[in-house]
Amino acid sequence: MRRIGSSPFSFPDFRGATRTLVFVNLAAYFAFLLLQLASAPMAGSLFGLLAFDPTSFLHGLVWQPFTYSFIHVGILGTLFELLSLWFLAGFLEQMHSSAWVNGLYAVSVVGTVLAATAIYACSGTLGYTLPLVALFGCFGGIFGMLAAIGTLYGDTEFLLFFTIGIKARYMVVIYALISIAMLFGQQRMYAFAQLGGALAGWLYVRMAPRRGISFVFSERWFGLRNGYYRWKRRRAARKFEVYMKSQGRTVRFDGSGRQIDEDQDDKKRWN
């Protein structure tokens, strides 16, 4: 496990992925707030379309896993979420790239709704009525980042409730126990979703490359594109060989589609 020294309670630099995530969520909050002031019914309809509801998702609203995290209701809850996002994302961005932090956030957000969908589907299969709770806010990404910090920097000390010094790994355990306790209340789906976000963050830390998922996708894309171009060049080389043979001349190409200079080969052979 990697370790860094104790960290006093101070917010990290506001830059890169941290600034982008906070500003995007803040802009979404004010946009939804203005819509509420302009037309409450329209805001309610938009909330139903963008917040995550397992029944709506399973019936075709496939964009909800990517939009629910930008829906914020209530100034205190939004303030707590955005301050937590600033602190956790900024802390991680001191040691990792912006792409890595963005990937962690995205995977945790999606893992949250996958967990909520799983517990909802299982409850329906078992014939148990699960109270539906619409998921909104970026709590999934926050729990994923918290799990990542507990895994990578478990010995780092933070101030719990601004007063109590506690190591990161113990803070993660406390939040996990709170979520587990909530499984026995009315917020079962919400609590299970939180645990799903934390699990997704942990899996991302264990399995994702250091440069982030976007780097891997870009490398795969360029690899596929270059492979396609090499295939086109080989095909053109084979056609050219057939054409030159019909003209009574012989040319050869290597496996990459480059022409082989036979005179040069003869010089190399005799030298």
Alpha carbons 230 and 99: distance in angstroms, whole number? 30
Maximum Cα–Cα distance across the chain: 88
Select from 101, 92, 98, 102 the least CA-distant residue to 12.
92
Element (H, E) at 164: strand 164-167
| Residues 12 and 83 sit within 8 Å (Cβ to Cβ) | no
CA of 31: how far to CAs of 73, 120, 135, 199, 206, in Å? 11, 30, 18, 31, 36
DSSP label at residue 167: E
User: How many C-beta atoms lie closer than 10 Å to residue 172's C-beta?
Assistant: 21
Positive/negative CA dihedral, 157, 158, 163, 164: negative
Q: Tokens 């609590």, residue?
A: 191
Q: Please give the model's pTM, rounded to 2 decimal places.
A: 0.72
Alpha carbons 204 and 108: distance in angstroms, whole number? 8
Is 222 exposed, middle or buried, given 0-12, 13-18 or 19+ CB atoms closer than 10 A? exposed
Beta strand ranges found along 111-163 (DSSP E)? 157-160
Alpha carbons 103 and 221: distance in angstroms, whole number? 17
Domains and CATH numbers, the chain: 16-211 (1.20.1540.10), 222-270 (no CATH)
Per-residue confidence in pLDDT tens, the chain, 271 aa: 344 444 445 678 888 999 999 999 999 999 999 999 998 889 889 998 999 988 888 888 899 999 999 999 889 989 999 999 999 999 999 988 898 999 999 999 999 999 999 888 887 676 666 777 889 999 999 999 999 999 999 888 877 666 677 888 888 888 889 888 888 877 788 888 999 999 999 999 988 765 555 555 555 555 666 767 777 777 777 777 777 777 777 777 666 666 666 555 544 444 4
